[in-house]
Amino acid sequence: MQEVFDEIRGALHTVWNRRWLALAVAWGVCILGWLFVATIPNSYESRARIYVELDDVLSKQLEISGEGRQAITKVRQTLTSAVNLEKVVRATKLGENVNTQREMQSAVDGLTKNVGVKSTEDNLFELTATIGDSSLTDAENAALAQDVVQKLIDIFREENVSGNRGQVADTLVFLDQQLDDRKKELEAAEQRRLAFEAQHPELIGGSGSVSSRLNTMRDEMRGVDSDIAAASSSLAAIDGQISSTPRTIATFGAEGGARGALSQAQSQLAAMRARGLTDSHPDIQAQQRQIAALREQAAREPAGSTGAPNPAYASLVAMRSERQANYQALQARKAALQSDISRLIANQAEEPAVAAEANRITRDYEVLKEKYDELLNDREEMRLRGQVETERSAFQFEVIDPPTAPTKPAAPNRPLLLVGVLLAGFGAGAAIAFVLGQMKSSFTTADKLERVLDIPVIGTISRSVTAEARRLERMQLKKFFAASGALAGICLLLLVVEVIQVGSVA
């Protein structure tokens, strides 16, 4: 640690011995630095805040609430575009001396670096513009910064409030043109479809439609087969009932006999079975016992009885005729379905090119119709949106804080630069003095001499100074401090001038 202190003390001694050189370098660096700082123009920053209402109740009801947020995104991306900044340049003092395209491009590039659009919240924007033109006064730079921000606000309003209506109108015109073109194409496709269907009615709708019709016919065929089976079973049942029912009813004398009663009992049994009763039913069993008893009586009854037509038999014959007609109709329907199915299958197998053409025509027609319907819906939505924009804009715009008129420069921080130049001057002088001292082979202390030469130092001889020499040294010291103080005083004076100039900006 003692060696470090010795090194520091030796460095300070080296600089102090060359203090006039260090002071001269400090003066030179400070003068040059202050002159450079003086040439830096003041930049003035103007700010403004604008509020943008993204959606309103009507926009949400119409399901167009996303337009506001899309417009916000567009503002953030395009407000500082080259086209918009060129409008700003032409509308302000920045464009007074711009005559060529190259000069305009240079002005736009410079303005791009000095203009910012920052979204502090979802619907709150902050616009900033920093202007520092060396050819203009501070007051003119401050006013120009305010003008630039105001022009940005005007562009914001023009492109995102008034401009929306023109965009909607242009979009409607484009959609109408597209609808006319799609309508002509759709009508042509309809004519081709009608002409093809007139030549090949069995392939209406394409092979996909034919396959669907085949499946439908097969389903219907299965239903007809089920109905035929049921009708055949019903016809067999009625045939059985007819075979067991006598055509006539036998009577004996005036009151009839056992044969007549037997015939009536058998008719009643047939009627029960026609209702679906089985032999295990109690009524059937009782009727069968009665028929057995009547048969014994009829066997013992003498001959000579007469017969009358049986009404039950006539009713069963009529029912059989009806069921026979239904069965034949189902058979005819099955034959027709089989014929249609065979014809469709044959057409698909024998004319694959025609089926492919049917598919293509149907597909083209459906695609064109779908696109036409989509364009029609888009046109109606855009028309409604245009009415909303005309009556009342869903994009509400409000200036919260108007562009400020700056009274103090935003850059550079001249007081800090002035003090920094002063410190840099003193540091440069001390550094040069120390470097020059290191270039000479001298030693500031006996310990350093002993360490470098590795030779014991017996002692040192102090310098003897006369009274006159001390008086001269004190005078030189006063002059040094006066020159150093003068340098610091100049820095203080420059700071006071800077404060006065900043306060004089309108």
CATH class, range 44-177+395-401:
alpha beta
Torsion angle, CA of 153/154/155/156, rounded to 10 degrees?
Answer: 50
Q: Does residue 446 sit in helix, strand or coil?
A: helix
Q: How many CB atoms lie within 10 A of CB 158?
A: 12
What pLDDT is recorded for position 24?
A: 92
pLDDT bin (cut points 50, 70, 90) of residue 196 is low
The fraction of the chain above a pLDDT of 70, given in percent, is 71
Q: How confident is the model over 403-410, as a mean pLDDT?
A: 83
Q: What is the pLDDT of residues 382-406, one digit of tens each?
A: 777 666 555 555 456 678 888 888 8
pLDDT value of position 492: 93
Q: Which of 297, 394, 405, 420 is nearest to 70 (CA)?
A: 394
Q: With contact defined as beta carbons under 8 Å apart, do 476 and 396 qualify?
A: no
Higher pLDDT among residues 94 and 75, named by residue: 94
Say what the pLDDT of residue 54 is: 56
pLDDT at residue 60 tops 50: no
Q: Give which of 85, 165, 71, 163 is closest to 125, Cα–Cα.
A: 71
111, two tokens: 């303005």
Residue range 125-149, pLDDT digits in tens: 888 888 888 788 878 888 888 898 8
313-355 tens-digit pLDDT: 778 778 888 888 888 888 888 888 888 877 777 765 545 566 6
Which H, E and C letters describe 31-47, residue by residue? HHHHHHHHHCCCEEEEE
More confident residue, 64 or 296: 296
Sign (positive or negative) of CA dihedral 317, 319, 324, 325: positive
pLDDT interval class at 98 (50, 70, 90): confident
Q: Quick check: helix, strand or coil at residue 398?
A: strand
Q: What is the pTM of this model?
A: 0.47
- 189 vs 203, higher pLDDT: 189
Give residue 486's pLDDT band: very low, low, confident or very high (50, 70, 90).
very high
Q: Structural domain boundaries of the chain?
A: 2-40+412-503, 44-177+395-401, 211-350
* pLDDT (mean) for 173-190: 80
d(C-alpha 88, C-alpha 316), whole Å? 105
> CA 192, CA 362: separation in Å to the nearest integer?
10
Distance of CA 235 to the CA centre of its chain: 70
